[in-house]
Each structure stands twice: as structure tokens, then as C-alpha cells.
Amino acid sequence: MEDLSIYIHIPFCNSKCYYCDFISFTGQENKVEAYISSLITELSLYKKDLKDYKIKTIFIGGGTPSAIDPIYIYRVLDYLYSNFNTHEDMEVSIELNPGTLSLEKLNIYKQAGINRVSIGLQTFNNNILGSLGRRHHAEEFFSSLDMVKEVGFNNINVDLIFGLPDQNLTDGMIDITTLVQLGVHHISYYSLIIEPNTPMYKWHQEGKLHLMDEDSERKLYHQVKEFLKYEGYVHYEISNFSLDGYQCKHNMVYWNIKPYLGVGLSSHSYLMGKRFWNTSKLNDYLDSLSEGNLPVEDEELISKEIEIAEYCIFGLRLIQGINKREFFNRFGVDLRDIYGHTIEKHKKAGLLIEDDRYLRLTDRGLDLANLVEVDFLP
Ligand SMILES: C[S@@+](CC[C@H](N)C(=O)[O-])C[C@H]1O[C@@H](n2cnc3c(N)ncnc32)[C@H](O)[C@@H]1O
Ligand code: SF4
């Protein structure tokens, strides 16, 4: 049986952060019940086709999954466990927002088989949290983390964003040193992306944001990398660090281009040589499923050429790089036969480095990853 990962999208938030372009809604609590029933219908429509797969990881993301009643999360997971093949040692993750938790809620997650939690903190600086449109303060993060530990979760990720408006190098280092003292197992450290169609994009266009310059942003990233290494964290993907053995198995599936099914609004899937994705319109999603139809908006057949390019682009985001033997085993061709010229060009520029087993980005290459990646496109 082939391994499968499942992504479940929960598109509800208590408020919309100014930088965020993920598909999520506020003030739609009256649709939660119908949404969860639709999710279960959607899963039921895949049940027959996926009978030869075995679920290895599940990720419940959003939006804010912890904004809705935990019994809904329990219901969806219970359906999955009862109707699909599952591995005994499955990784089951959920995204949580500070200020939305209680011991009771976390206990229901535990009973539902969730064994990894991912808390969105972004920064400890309360002024900056306010200017991002976050509803919580650092203090609520501390109490959320205490609760998560009290209930017995022992695989905890925290998301930070750096390069935030009004953040300087010192603020950035305070965030990471404070977090490390709390002993979390995994840290996702994202560089702020100013996404179109967000309030922050508009303010940026109007010149109203005070962002650190690019050199300072890179300096902060390098200092954080050094500090985390010193503290025993393994840097395993451009934006991800973990204590030994706590890499996120679900995200590794995306980065290694292995099969996954996404259910829920706007979710993407990669399965049976196809990439397909759901509608982003809530009413269309609910209507399709109430008529017993999949809410798939479109699909793309993945040619071998595209699969190879994606494998390389994601592989280079991993700090260990592309495993050349695995590449050969998967595609039946040598990496150099396809990309020899590109590899030489970027090695000369000091952006790629190679040994017998791996091809990877150098430290400088990690800063300029986009430049290298475009040369791997077909
Ligand atoms: C899908 S979001 C949801 C997490 C959760 N709702 C929260 O806000 O805490 C996952 C993570 O993506 C990151 N993120 C979202 N928008 C971003 C942006 N524009 N730039 C960088 N990171 C972003 C944040 O760190 C966030 O915690
Ligand atoms: S960052 Fe999280 S809480 Fe904020 S709008 Fe996006 S999904 Fe919702």
C-alpha cells in the first residue's frame, strides 16, 4: 500500500491579520456545521479511490482550526480513522492560535489522536502584534503553551515571522532567544511576504511601512541560524528548524513530492500523477458537495519534465539538498544529464555545492534560492 498524506483546510478566523492571504473568513460561524458535513462528504467521495493507500500524516490547517468547536475536528478525524487505512504511528498536526484555547479543547484534540500542535505566534512584541492585526498578546501565547504542555503534547511547533514592520535586529533576536528558552521542538521561521490583496500590501504601496532593509533582514536570518544551531536545532529546510527527530513529516511529503490529498476550501492535492485544487468560494464548495459532486476547480497533469523540475526546486529548499541516488531511482536518469550546465553555472557563482551524494544550496545560495530555482524550470 502506498503512503498518503491528508491536508484538511478550516477556513474560519476570529479576525483577519493584515498580512495574510490564506483563504479564511470572519463572521461566518453559522456556516461551520455545514462546512464540516461537507468535508466529511468530500472525504467519502474519495474513499473508494483511496482504498489502496495508507494515511501516514494528517495536517489540519487554516484559517484557524482552533477557532471552531473541537468536536467538529474530532468528527472529521473519527471519520477518517473509520473509513481509511491508517498507519499506527501517524503524525496528526493542528494549527492553533493563542487566545483560542482551553484545557478542555486541547483534551478533545488529544482524544481525537492529534499528536503535534503548531502555534502561530509571529512575534513576542505586543506593539508589532497589534500592528499586524493579531488579536492576542505575548501573554496569551505563554498561557497557550503552558496549556498545551499540561495536556501532554510533546511535539510542538511555533511559527515566527521576521522582517516585520517596525522590527529591528534586536527585536528579532529577542523573539528567537525567548522562544528557545521555552523548549519548543520545532520552529518555523518565515520571512514576511507582502502579499497582494492584503491591507499590508496597500500600506506598502503607499510607503507607510517601516521595513528593515534587505541586508539587515538577511543578517537577522543568519544570526538566527547560528543561534539555533548552537542551541541544538537542526536546520532542515529554508524556513524550518527542529530538535533531532522532530522534523515535520507532513511537510516533508510536500517537499519530496509524495502523494497527498487536500480537502476543504481551496486545498490542493497531488495524487495519481495529477495536481488538482478545490474552489476558493465557500458557497460553491458547500453547493457542490450538497449535490454529491467534488468541489474541484481544475486539474493539471504532471508531465515527467515538470515533476523533475518540482522535485529539484523543493529538494533544494531542503538543507541536505537533492539526494542524487534517489533522483536516479525515481526518474531513471542522472541529475547531471539534465541539469549539468545549470549546476556548473551556479557552482561557479558559489550558490550550489555538491558531494558524492547530495547537491545543495550554499549559505549564499539559500539567500538567493529564487535565482537558482528558476534555472531548474523546464
Ligand atoms: C496558515 S497560517 C495559519 C496559522 C494560524 N491561523 C495563525 O495565524 O497563527 C500559517 C503561518 O503562515 C505564516 N504566514 C502567513 N502569512 C504570511 C506572510 N504573508 N508572510 C510570512 N508568513 C506568513 C504565519 O507564520 C502563520 O502562522
Ligand atoms: S494569519 Fe492565521 S489568524 Fe491571521 S488571518 Fe491568517 S489564518 Fe487567520
pLDDT tens digits, one per residue of 156-173: 999 999 999 999 999 999
Among candidate residues 115, 193, 130, 122, the one with its CA nearest the CA of residue 160: 122
Q: Which residues line ligand 2 (CB under 6 A)?
A: 13, 16-17, 20, 22, 24, 62-64, 97, 120
pTM of the predicted model as reported, rounded to 2 decimal places: 0.97
Ligand 1 pocket member 161 (CB < 6 A): yes
Q: What are the pLDDT digits (tens) for 218-227?
A: 999 999 999 9
321 within 8 A of 312, measured Cβ to Cβ: no
| 42-77 exposure pattern, b = at least 16 Cβ within 10 A, e = fewer | bbeebeeebeebebbbbbbbbbbbbbbebebbbbbb
Sequence-separated (6 or more) residues with CB below 8 Å from residue 272 = 259
C-alpha of residue 275 to centroid of ligand 1, in Å: 23
The residues with which 60 forms a beta bridge, in sequence order, are: 8, 94
Please determine, looking at this structure, whether the domain spanning 2-255 carries the CATH number 3.40.50.300: no
Res 32 pLDDT > 90 = yes
C-alpha dihedral (86, 89, 90, 94), degrees to nearest 10: 140
Sequence-separated (6 or more) residues with CB below 8 Å from residue 104 = 70
Ligand nearest to the CA of 159: 1
Ligand nearest to the CA of 239: 1
Q: What are the pLDDT digits (tens) for 279-336?
A: 999 999 999 999 999 999 999 999 999 999 999 999 999 999 999 999 999 999 999 9
Distance CA 156, CA 167 (A): 25
Average pLDDT over residues 191-213: 96
Q: How confident is the model at residue 53 (pLDDT cuts 50, 70, 90)?
A: very high
Distance CA 266, CA 270 (A): 14
Average pLDDT over residues 137-146: 98
C-alpha of residue 345 to centroid of ligand 2, in Å: 40
Q: What does the domain layout of the chain look like in residue ranges?
A: 2-255, 321-374
Q: What is the pLDDT of residue 38?
A: 98
